[in-house]
Amino acid sequence: MDKVVRMCIGCRGRCLQSTLMRFQIKNFKVVKFSKIGRSLYICDTCLNTQQIKTKKMIQNRYKIDFKELIDLKERTANG
């Protein structure tokens, strides 16, 4: 069983790695983790949040478009 715990960048909550979406930022773009370099995690709750505050915080901190996270999630889910 995967019991690795990672921190979500949105709520800073600690969740099982398997329940988080893993990604990385390359040239200010959100991309799927390539197994090289630093990766980040976000939980489903934050990904689906309607709170502008949370979205803005993530966008400002990581200099990314929140929508790209959702796009990546959808692409990952479709293989």
> Where does this chain bind Zn ion (CB under 5 A)?
8, 10-11, 43, 46
H or E element at residue 7: strand 5-7
For the bound state, the minimum distance from the C-beta of residue 37 to Zn ion, rounded and expressed in Å, comes to 22
CB of 40 to Zn ion, least distance (A): 11
Closer CB to Zn ion, 27 or 57, in the complex: 57
For the CB of residue 62, give the shortest distance to Zn ion in the complex, in Å.
14
Nearest CA to 10 out of 78, 76, 77, 50 is that of: 50
Share in percent of the chain as helix, strand, coil (round to 5): 40, 25, 35
Residue 46 or residue 69: which is nearer to Zn ion going by CB? 46
